[in-house]
Amino acid sequence: MTTFGFIRHGLTRWNAEGRLQGQIDIELSEEGVLQAKALANRLSGEHWDAIVCSDLQRAAVTAKIVGKELGISENCITADSRLRERAFGQLEGTTVAERIVRWGEGWSSLDLDTEQDEHLIERALDFMQWATEHYADQKVLVVSHGGYLALLYKALFADHKDEYLSNTSLTIATLNQTQWTKTLFNCTAHLNT
């Protein structure tokens, strides 16, 4: 049985501002670093074999903070571009208010070069196919992004219901042959201590 711990990266300044990041490489804020440390502390009593993360620094730094606490050497932390957030095209770097000013109230129905759901799901499932083979019968942490993880969860879990994914939220799932089972979803108990 293979176990995955899916983690959304820590908070960034742009998250706090409500600014869409997409694939722009934004660093963690001080609060985001503290969130990652709190998650690392929460996981410190557990055994994880490896970490795979998006190559964008907000996810990569979250992964390194967690890895350091878990005693996972940096050579066991793999950056993978398939874990990047959705490309939001012209929307990247904007807030909702700025989008309304620029494109009007109907901005969300416009073609503004946003990566389509089908492409993102294909990219995510390609990663998961590789990861389930590469890390068979291991415990692996995967650090990625909110939009990416939301679509991945829809693809993996038949019973999935949409829910906002909090920064440094932890979702644990196991794969037993072809059946995915969620044992923890969008948990941020580490932020309440």
Q: Which residues are annotated as a binding site for substrate?
A: 8-15, 58
Is 9 assigned a catalytic role? yes
Q: Which of 31, 47, 85, 92 is catalytic?
A: 85
Listed residue (22, 27, 81, 87) closest to 52, CA to CA: 81
Alpha helices (H) along 73-116 = 96-103
Structure-token pair, residue 18: 């409500």
Listed residue (65, 22, 73) closest to 40, CA to CA: 65
Q: What is the 3-state secondary structure (H, E, C) of 126-186?
A: HHHHHHHHHCCCCEEEEEECHHHHHHHHHHHCCCCCCCCCCCCCEEEEEEECCEEEEEEEE
Question: What percent of the chain is helix, strand and coil (3-state, nearest 5)?
Answer: 45, 20, 35
As annotated, the active-site residues are 9, 85
